[in-house]
Each structure stands twice: as C-alpha cells, then as structure tokens.
Amino acid sequence: MLGLEVGDVHFERATGTFRPNAWRRLKNQGSARVLPLWPQLAAILRDHLNTRTAAEVLEGRPPRSLLFPGASSDRERCLDTLPRKAFAALLQRAGMAGQEVTAKTFRHTYCSARLQTVDGGSPVSPFTVSRELGHGSRAMVEKVYSHLGTFRCRSEEVEYRVEAFPKLAERLKAHGFVTPIVTVEQVS
C-alpha cells in the first residue's frame, strides 16, 4: 500500500494495481495483482487526492507520484512503515488508547469483510480473495483469515460503516469525530 503510485488507482475501472515500481519491490510473483476499488474507498481516495493536489498547487510543489508520499520535503520518498504515531494519536482521540493497529490488522479486516461479499450473486470464492491478497493458494485465507463468527451479512461490496458499530460510533462522536456517510450515488 505504501508504494502505490497515483497511477495505480483507476477510478474509471474501479481497480487498484499492486505492481513493482521504483519505490518498492513485491514480495513474490503472485504479489502483483489487481484489486477491486470499492466505492467507499474510491470516495476516500478521491478526497485525499483532491486535498493533496490543492496543497501541492498552493505550495508550488510539483505533483507527487506516490499515493501516500513520505515527509513533505523537496525529494519524494516512500514511507517505510505505517505511521504508528499518527495511528496512536488517532486511537487516543477516539478513546481507544493502547490498542495496537498494524498493517496486519488492516489486512485481516479486509479479508474477513471481503469473504462476506457476493460475486455474481453467490458468496465470493476464497480462491478469489486469496488472489487479491497475493497468495498462491486459498489455504492461508482459510487457515488464518476466514474465522468469521456465525453471523453472515452478505453485501455487493466491501465497506466499513461506523453506524454498523453503535458503541464505536458513540465513542467517536463523544471525541469530536464527524462520521460522514458516503453513498454510492456520491461516488458515481
């Protein structure tokens, strides 16, 4: 994710492409892949790019090629790791201090959510999800990621709606977070 370039996100095709580039290599040959760009994520990324582009123009900087560039110096660089301090501050503000948020947390959450989607009206195949994660077989998905509860809520897309978690929504609201709801119509 940290080595994605702006050109790897295709809003028209609703896809994101993981590929080797000047910023990073991939773990293995199966790591090169194209993933669906879900409407909620597309809306967030559009907003991120619009805000970032406006800031670059105001500051007189050339546009950066990385989707999530490192420090705002003259030379563009790729982040080495997720910004732990930023996540810690965010968790603190949300009243969730001390909870560790890692790249693995995001990967695990995506996989579990993706396994709840439908593909052509049927539950998505673990094979499809394993390819999206860059695995050569579905064994890892079934062994590590797919231990879902007994509650199944199938949907057409992966999305994270805070209103689906009332206690979290209350905590966020109490700490001053505004949780805008992005609809599919707003993304189109």
pLDDT band, very low/low/confident/very high, at 152 (cuts 50, 70, 90)? low
Between 69 and 151, residue with greater pLDDT: 69
- Report which of residues 29 and 125 the model is more confident about: 125
User: The whole model's pTM is what?
Assistant: 0.74
pLDDT at residue 181, rounded to an integer? 46
Task: Give Cα separations from 46 to 6, 55, 57, 63, 157 (angstroms).
Answer: 11, 14, 16, 15, 18
AA identity, residue 173: K
CA angle 122-123-129, nearest 5°? 130
Over the stretch 75-86, which tens digit does the pLDDT of each residue have? 677 776 667 777
Measured CA to CA in angstroms, residue 163 lies from 41, 172, 181 at distances of 17, 11, 9
Q: What are the tens digits of pLDDT across the range 110-134?
A: 888 898 889 988 989 999 999 998 8
State the distance between the two ends of the chain, measured CA to CA, in whole angstroms.
24
